Structure 1
Amino acid sequence: MLSLKSAKLYTIAWIATLPLERQAAMALLDEEHSAPEDIEQQLDQAEDYAWGRVGKHNIVIASLSGGLYGPQAAPETVGNLIRLLPHIQIGLVVGVGGGIARPDEGQDIRLGDVIVSQPDGTSKGLVQCDLNKMGSKSTYEQMTTPKDPPLVLLQAVSKLREKHDQTPSKIPDLLRGMMRGDPRGSSAQCSFVHPGSASDRLFKSQHDHIGHAGNCDHCHPSLEVSRGQRRSMNPTIHYGLIASVNKVIKDAAVRDVILEDTGYRCLCVEMEAAGIMSQLPCLVVRGVSDYADSHKNDLWQPYAAATAAAFVVELLEHVQAM
């Protein structure tokens, strides 16, 4: 396996908090590397990092330290990364999140879609929401020490959006490559396949999940939100506000309070990005794996992780080599 001589040749940090998010990232590498020669002896937890190339960019994939998850572990992981690679100024937080779908309001978010943090003049594309102990309300506050998203990534997002106005996204092709065992995707697992639209069910906020099974076979069809079938199963990309919260959201009432507190602008909730962005400028990319309600399960997580990773690979084509 190739090993570059200097860690300074790695210019982008890809943060993957779940094992399956790391697997999706590694499945899309053009080339996998061993640890750089000049820091190999400094890696106390070598398993926290993976190294490789995507297109013209050498990237380091960082996982949460010690296999921990959530907002408490993220700052430690990024702090360790910055101490190891102080020259890195560009980060990507890539993985799964809970979508806030409002089809009646034109916010037709489906499972497997991709949400990209996009500043809008009033926010940096990410806000922090602290939930109180009761779990039924939230306190909304702008992050106190945010980093601006990297300008080079925002410029790439603009270029990619312009391109998508004319030509389709490459995400479906990249996903097919994962399944075929192309150089990109040679280590992909069959779990990254689309689970099927029949399992993508959105229920009204007042309907709690029935039963202990992960599926919604016993939930009331009359309380399911009616949505037209899409022309294809390809993911749609949405740009806007993401809320970073301090616990897993699986309650529609809590989700809806967050939506209200953010001025009905929030597209997605997740847990780690606020702690990461307080230390490292990042763009946040989340594949929608659930609707942040009681019907939440893990069925869509692998596919959602793959769509988010594929978006980043396409985005990096529009980032100049550094």
Structure 2
Amino acid sequence: MAVRPSRRDEFEIAVVCALPLEFDAAALAFDEFWDDDGDTYGRAEGDTNTYTTGRIGQYNVVLSLLSSMGKVGAATVATSLRSSYTGLRLALLTGICGGVPSPWTDDEVLLGDVVISKAVVQYDYGRQYPGRFIRRDTVDDNLGRPNKNIRSLVESFRTDLGRERLHRGASQVLGQIRENAAKKRRRARYNRPDATEDTLFEPGYEHKHRDRSDCGCAENACETARAAACAELRCDTARLVRRDRFDDMLESEPDDHFEIHVGCVGSGDMVMKSGLDRDRIARDHGLVAFEMEGAGMWDEVPCIVVKGVCDYADSHKNKRWQAYAAATAASVMKALLARYIQTDRPPAGHRNGAGASPAPSAAPSTPSGASGPVFHGPITGKVDLRIWFIY
């Protein structure tokens, strides 16, 4: 079990949320807080973030809420976070996202499922031509790969054993979150909505007034329609997409069953609310979900996106599933940390965890008659090139 740290650099894990409802769910996953009586750790000069500190399992964790949604807000928080908490090894971006439903496949996504990123694609970064948008897709434009430690961890969740262990742990944590919420009289917030509220319409079937007489505006898909429920707009249930896993779940699965998906996550500054564009972009880039902050954090700190699916990123999206999806994401976040192997910290004076380099011996005198530079000490490898003395 982690002990209360004495300094900021003893925190290894950060959890970052974009919305207050995401923050609330993540906070319920903490085992204890270090700042109940006030902050004692401070922050670096120039850092404007507000932090909550505590423990999740064996790790000391710092929790932060973005001041604004989107990539810029996430990048700003990540940069300041790294300046104040210099010992960070992993940041978990936790919250809600829009899922790519992928019906009739083995990767069918339902509301309440959780997505773990193996990569993040900045799908809205490119050039807009007449009638066509082309994403910038060069080596310099794409986000980098996660480090080997993160790749190894995420890859383990693609195995049957790794996924089963993660799911079992997350299910237990979800119960703990509800127990903690009940103490605050908020348990009902994290109950799974009824399955009848998990509706997926055909990609091209829009959420709009069916008759212009229903609204005095010039467009069927007006702001009034966008804010209305499907029942109010009489969205045709005959246009619902049939899904094998959804049907099976209605017949046999327990109410709290959710799946965990590992894949590429699309990140952009716009909210995806189009079934046709969702499927086109997801197909082009192999995406399983859409969100708005991952691209901002990805290159700033070692990061994994862990988000619960609260809608299908189409025009029928609503907020009914947000709290439950935030809770399933927080559950997977904590279960993931339980599978994250703690690495020994290097002793004082050692570098990169490999031990301090031996001090070089005294340089011998320049050989008699030598001309040009003479190198003393090892010159080894393409990566670790050390030139000790040059004469």
TM-score normalised by L of structure 2: 0.71
For residue 87 of structure 2, what is the aligned residue in structure 1? 87
Residue identity opposite 1:39 in structure 2: G
CA contact 2:90–2:302 (8 Å) conserved in 1: yes
Deviations 1:220-268 (A, max 9, x none): 1111001224132311111111111221111112212212321xx2110
Alignment of 1:194-209 (within 5 A): 194-209=192-207
Residue identity opposite 2:288 in structure 1: L
Residue identity opposite 1:30 in structure 2: D
Residue identity opposite 2:153 in structure 1: A
Residue identity opposite 1:107 in structure 2: D
Deviations 1:85-107 (A, max 9, x none): 12313211111111011212333
Quick one: structure 1 residues 41 and 315, their matched pair in 2 at CA, closer, same or farther if it must change by over 3 Å? closer
| Structure 2 residue matching 1:314: 3-state secondary structure | helix
1:192 to 173, 190, 193: 190
Is 1:129 the counterpart of 2:123? The answer is yes
Is 1:56 the counterpart of 2:72? The answer is no
For residue 74 of structure 2, what is the aligned residue in structure 1? 74
Runs of 5+ in structure 1 lacking a partner?
Answer: 119-124
Is 1:298 the counterpart of 2:322? The answer is no
Question: Percent of counterpart pairs with the same letter?
Answer: 28
Quick one: structure 1 residues 45 and 166, their matched pair in 2 at CA, closer, same or farther if it must change by over 3 Å? closer
Q: Which deviates further from its counterpart, 126-135 or 109-118?
A: 126-135
Give the Cα separation in 2 of the matches to 1:136 and 1:294: 21
Give the Cα separation in 1 of the matches to 2:105 and 2:131: 23
Give the Cα separation in 2 of the matches to 1:299 and 1:174: 22
1:279 to 281, 289, 300: 300
For residue 172 of structure 1, what is the aligned residue in structure 2? 171
CA contact 2:170–2:335 (8 Å) conserved in 1: yes
Give the Cα separation in 2 of the matches to 1:291 and 1:42: 41
For residue 15 of structure 1, what is the aligned residue in structure 2? 16
CA contact 2:163–2:260 (8 Å) conserved in 1: no
* Equivalent pairs, count: 308
Residue identity opposite 1:205 in structure 2: P
Larger radius of gyration: 2
Give the Cα separation in 1 of the matches to 2:131 and 2:238: 25
Q: Which deviates further from its counterpart, 215-224 or 161-170?
A: 161-170
Deviation at 1:304, TM superposition (A): 0.7
| Structure 1 residue matching 2:339: 3-state secondary structure | coil
Residue identity opposite 1:117 in structure 2: S
Residue identity opposite 2:272 in structure 1: I
| Structure 2 residue matching 1:289: 3-state secondary structure | strand
Give the Cα separation in 1 of the matches to 2:4 and 2:206: 51
| Structure 2 residue matching 1:58: 3-state secondary structure | strand
Deviation at 1:61, TM superposition (A): 1.0
Deviations 1:94-146 (A, max 9, x none): 1111101121233310000011112xxxxxx2111117779986533457363
| Structure 1 residue matching 2:340: 3-state secondary structure | coil
Deviation at 1:5, TM superposition (A): 1.8
CA contact 2:47–2:84 (8 Å) conserved in 1: no
CA contact 1:10–1:59 (8 Å) conserved in 2: yes
CA contact 1:113–1:235 (8 Å) conserved in 2: yes
Q: Which deviates further from its counterpart, 21-30 or 173-182?
A: 173-182
For residue 238 of structure 1, what is the aligned residue in structure 2? 261
CA contact 2:28–2:180 (8 Å) conserved in 1: no
- RMSD in angstroms over aligned alpha carbons? 2.8
For residue 122 of structure 1, what is the aligned residue in structure 2? none
TM-score normalised by L of structure 1: 0.85
- RCO comparison, higher one (Cα < 8 Å, 6+): 1
CA contact 2:98–2:311 (8 Å) conserved in 1: yes
Give the Cα separation in 1 of the matches to 2:262 and 2:106: 13
For residue 121 of structure 1, what is the aligned residue in structure 2? none
CA contact 1:175–1:310 (8 Å) conserved in 2: yes
